[in-house]
Amino acid sequence: MCLSILIIALGTGGYMWIEKWEFLDAVYMTIITLTTVGYSEVHEVSQTGRIFTIFLIFSGAGFCLYVAGALVQFMVEGRIREVLGRRRLDKKINRLKNHYIVCGYGRIGRVLCNNLREKRDIDLVVIDSDQDLLPVMDEDGILYLHANASDESTLVRAGIDRAKALIAVLATDTDNVFLVLTARQLNPEIFIMARAGSKASKSKLFAAGANQVESPYDTGATSMANRIIRPTVTNFLDLAFSYKNKDIQMEEIPVDPSSDIANKMLKDSGIRQKYNLIIIAMKKKDGSMLFNPSFETIIEPGDTVIAVGEDQNLLELEKELRPGA
């Protein structure tokens, strides 16, 4: 833009100086010369004026070629960057295992992903077909597929056969039901959580194959009620569930059969002494929950220990309970 203005200004000034023309005549002559439209000159052009006109024509043609080349280069390089960027994302997705697939990156999906990413060992792949969300996902630095989440080929590209869980938070309940059906057929063992916009949709999502169905409206209303009735309890839970707070955390850790603590009583495990942690509950293999387990409770392989304490101590306990993880 600046270069074009400069050429027009030089052409106008040149005609005014060489031919002694008025400003409007000089601008007109410059424009028709640069655009090569072929109109006749406004006035007779002198020998020097003709040489200047030739110079101006070559300058204008060179400028047009430069602009055209710059535009082509911009489009080609942009396309190359897009293709290479997509290939890098696909390679990263292909290397994932036991990851989480989040279908939908709207208001709920984005908040959900941000919360999940606070957990250190969780890998995410987002699927969304909204073109407007591409810059948002690029800015957030997540792995994503710009496609229809309900298509089998898309779920296969996302690694559903290797994924640990799929979370369906698409815009409508109909889309989520169809997605759950497709995902369950592709991987009968995967854990599926789905968002329901209404109570009537919950039964349909369960029938489609969802393991867990959540309604943001019900959850939000329950949370608001608890903050009114039990403000201290909810404040404590907020602290315990926030990964930004290192002083106190609440974590669930499965017990691996290879752990040295497996098949030991709680009093002999040394968890309290070595890690200064409180075991508030244990989920047994049969699904039963033991709250405030006694010191004689046996920690069995396949159990899940729910502990509260400092973040670093929880990490050390996880290494001992899951030595191969």
Domain boundaries defined on the chain: 2-87, 96-221, 246-321
Average pLDDT, the chain: 82
Residue with tokens 């046996």: 298
What is the DSSP pairing of strand 165-168 with strand 298-299? unpaired
Greatest mean pLDDT among 2-6, 246-250, 315-319: 315-319
> Is the pLDDT reported for residue 258 higher than 70?
yes
Domain at 246-321, CATH class: alpha beta
Give 177-202 pLDDT, tens digit per residue: 999 999 999 999 999 999 998 888 88
Average pLDDT rounded to a whole number, residues 154-177: 93
Name the more confident of 159 and 44.
Answer: 159
| DSSP assigned state of 166 | E
* Structure confidence by residue, pLDDT tens digits, 224-250: 888 888 888 788 777 767 666 666 778
Residue indicated by tokens 């043609």: 61
4, 14, 17, 60, 298 from 23: Cα distances, Å: 18, 11, 10, 20, 98
Given a cut of 80, whether residue 95 has pLDDT beyond it is: yes
CATH topology of domain 96-221: Rossmann fold (3.40.50)
With contact defined as beta carbons under 8 Å apart, do 205 and 196 qualify?
Answer: yes
Say which CATH architecture domain 2-87 belongs to: Orthogonal Bundle (1.10)
Rounded to two decimals, what is the model's pTM? 0.62
> What secondary structure, in 3-state letters, does 269-297 show?
HCHHHHHCCEEEEEECCCCCEEECCCCCC
C-alpha–C-alpha distance, residues 176 and 195, integer Å: 7
Give the span between the Cα atoms of 139 and 68, in whole angstroms: 31
N-term to C-term CA, the chain: 59
Q: State how far the alpha carbon of 51 is from the alpha carbons of 47, 57, 154, in Å.
A: 7, 10, 64
pLDDT at 76 over 70: no
Pairing of strands 212-214, 249-254: unpaired
**Can you tell me the mean pLDDT for 2-20?**
72
Q: How far is CA 24 from CA 48, 187, 274, 277, 319, in A?
A: 20, 75, 90, 86, 82
Q: How far apart are CA 43 and CA 149, in angstroms?
A: 68
